[in-house]
Amino acid sequence: MNSIINGLLFFFVIIIQFSWTKYFALYGLAPNIPLIALIYISLRQGALSGQLLGFAWGITWDVLSGDLFGSHALLFTGIGFLIGKLSHKMDESKVITQMVLTGIASVVFSAGMWCLYLVFSPTEYVLSWNYIVWMQPLLNMMVAPFFFAAASLVIPEQRA
């Protein structure tokens, strides 16, 4: 049952992310829904589920976009693992915990993307230090509690 719900969540998140960024972005800024969902799943179900879904969302994002291939898969897998290791070691139901972890993961993701592009594709450097890089973590932090509240109604908790 849990794998069916995670499979449905996988497709739902991909559809939301790519439609949101195309049709509902405000001046090019949209929340990183797969990252927020990854944090939620990793906290609720542990490192293994976080790694698996992180890799699946990352490789799907890499296939569907023109970004550096493997960058999202690598970063989402690592973030899923690290957040999963924090699973059940803090009160995940607190809004401040959700926001802080989302903010840290967003900054790590942006810095990781910057480093990967710098190393593997310096001539095709598409990341720029504009308002989106600075506002993305804040937007993710604001969206996270709403996503966590909605997802907790649907996705069961699994003790690792």
pLDDT at 137 over 80: yes
The residue among 96 and 160 whose pLDDT is bigger is 96
Cα separation, 135 vs 149, in Å, equals 22
According to the model, what pLDDT value does residue 160 have? 47
Contact criterion met (CB below 8 Å) for 38 and 79? yes
For residues 151-157, give the mean pLDDT: 79
For the stretch 46-83, pLDDT in tens is 999 999 999 999 999 999 988 889 999 999 999 999 99
According to the model, what pLDDT value does residue 2 have? 75
According to the model, what pLDDT value does residue 136 have? 92
Range in 90-94, 104-108, 119-123, 136-140 the model is least confident about: 119-123
Compute CA distances 87 → 6, 32, 42, 109, 155, whole Å. Answer: 17, 21, 7, 19, 15
CATH 1.10.1760.20, domain 2-152, yes or no: yes
First to last CA, the chain: 16
| Cα torsion angle, 92, 80, 109, 29, sign | negative
- pLDDT grade for 20, boundaries at 50, 70 and 90: confident
For residues 33-55, give the mean pLDDT: 95
Q: Residue ranges per domain, the chain?
A: 2-152
Position of tokens 């559809």? 15
The residue among 4 and 47 whose pLDDT is bigger is 47
Range in 55-64, 76-85, 112-121, 134-143 the model is least confident about: 112-121
According to the model, what pLDDT value does residue 24 have? 80
**Prediction pTM value:** 0.91
